[in-house]
Structure 1
């Protein structure tokens, strides 16, 4: 499928997600929008994505996954997260996926994602997967809690060629996307869960479901049919959390 990719590389944009959104009506499936710099990069929970100019990979992949029912939209998150994880694993790193789709190495965030969908009836029409992978950056804003990068984790002396790294990633992305096309949902889920950050480990979290936040001790046991994170509490009961209902304590 790699030959079907359409690459659009920009020196500077406000956000590759915005550029992709502006091209939804005309862009072919698997259009990729890459920028050396984003003036207003978007992250999860309304946060900005900060990145030094021309040091990292910042891009959005526009997909037209009409084969996917809306209830299976988390498959796109699995495809995106697994692609990054597998790419970083080729560099010899031990990688974990922090639900729903942040990528961690040694308890440090190396990649963030923002995924948006447009529906047509009961199926997906367009999916945008905005991905930021820290590649060559060595110094980060002090306000960022726990960032790292490929070059910091590998200890490489020479900077990575970002175009080469992008193509390596996209090759793996296409393989994972082909799995989704083929309906290999169970396999995608197994591979996702096998890399799930803190799965089976007792850890502390902030439960945001009530009127007041409270600290809980629990362990991750899986993901339910709605793609909510399932935690087992100390009393043996289980509870499901949507994205905004749970905060990690790291």
Structure 2
């Protein structure tokens, strides 16, 4: 069981499981949920993932032992599936809050990445299970480049908190800060979704700004004007407003 010292939360992270290596923290947590009753707020971390996954099947590569590889279990029963992206917003904002605590300038890239100066620092994978029209439970996978200093030469669009700050960050302190921000934003999700949405827009890359994007391999200039509760992105392209699902539009960094 990993240490929870200096953790200031009501329930998130009070129970943790840590492993040197897993295929995926999300996979492990989902398998655990299938075998036993799991308490909300359980955290699974690993030093290394052999099959880390990103949004819609993308892979997440990480150097062993230097980054945050974590999954957290939530039960947002009150949230209708058609409003599920509010939960995504709360998670993205929590990670952005944490990173901006250390250094200003981090942004959210729709749907689930965190950027600094156009380079990816964090990827988030949220897997929801439904009961009727509502979310039964959620497994939230978070991968943050914390202390990695060397990246594959083909990964020129990635950076780490260490590279930005110029020094290493104590991992337990960073992890606890993420968990505290997750709980703070989770409570906001329950009581103030309008405020959550406005905060999300304040950190959203391309919101009310014209940026380069790709649609079906074609480069266009797009301006994000809204993100809907179900996750659809509304953007203005060549004077026309269009609606996009995940993977239908990507943004050039």
The TM-score by the shorter chain falls in which range? Answer: over 0.9
- Which of 9, 20, 39 aligns to 1:2? It is 9
The answer as to 2:62 corresponding to 1:51 is: yes
- 1:239 is aligned to 242
Q: Deviations over 1:133-162 (max 9, x none)?
A: 111001012232400000111112xx2211
Separation in 2, partners of 1:84, 1:14: 23
Q: For the Cα contact (< 8 Å) 1:222–1:230, is it kept in 2?
A: yes
1:187 aligns with 2:205: no
Q: Render the CA deviation track for 1:141-192: whole Å, top value 9, x for unaligned.
A: 2232400000111112xx221111100111111111111233x111111101
Whether 2:226 is the aligned partner of 1:217: answer: no
Using the TM superposition, give the Cα deviation of residue 63 of structure 1 relative to its aligned residue in structure 2, in angstroms.
0.6
Contact 1:62 1:129 in 2 (8 A): yes
Quick check: 39-48 or 119-128, which moved more? 39-48
Quote the residue 1:124 is aligned against.
Answer: 135
**Alpha-carbon distance, 1:225 to partner:** 4.1
SS of the residue 1:24 aligns to: helix
What's the TM-score, normalizing by structure 1?
A: 0.92
Q: Deviations over 1:172-229 (max 9, x none)?
A: 11111111233x1111111011110022222222113xxxx43322211121343211
Which residue number in structure 1 is paired with residue 39 of structure 2? 28
Partners of 1:193 and 1:247 lie apart in 2 by 17
Q: For residues 145 and 222 of structure 1, what CA distance do their matches in structure 2 show?
A: 29
Decide whether aligned partners of structure 1 residues 73 and 224 sit closer, same or farther in structure 2, where only a CA change above 3 A counts.
closer
Structure 2 stretches of 5 or more lacking a match? 1-7
- Number of residues of Structure 1 aligned to a counterpart in Structure 2: 242
Is 1:164 aligned with 2:168?
A: no
- With a CA cutoff of 8 Å and minimum separation of 6, indicate the structure with the bigger relative contact order: 2
2:71 is paired with a residue of what secondary structure?
A: strand
* Structure 1 Cα separation of the partners of residues 151 and 201 of structure 2: 30
Cα drift, residue 246 of structure 1: 0.7
Cα deviation digits, residues 39-83 of structure 1 (max 9, x gap): 111112312211111100000111111111111111221111000
Q: Is the 8 A contact 1:224 1:240 kept in 2?
A: no
Superposition RMSD on alpha carbons, in Å? 1.4
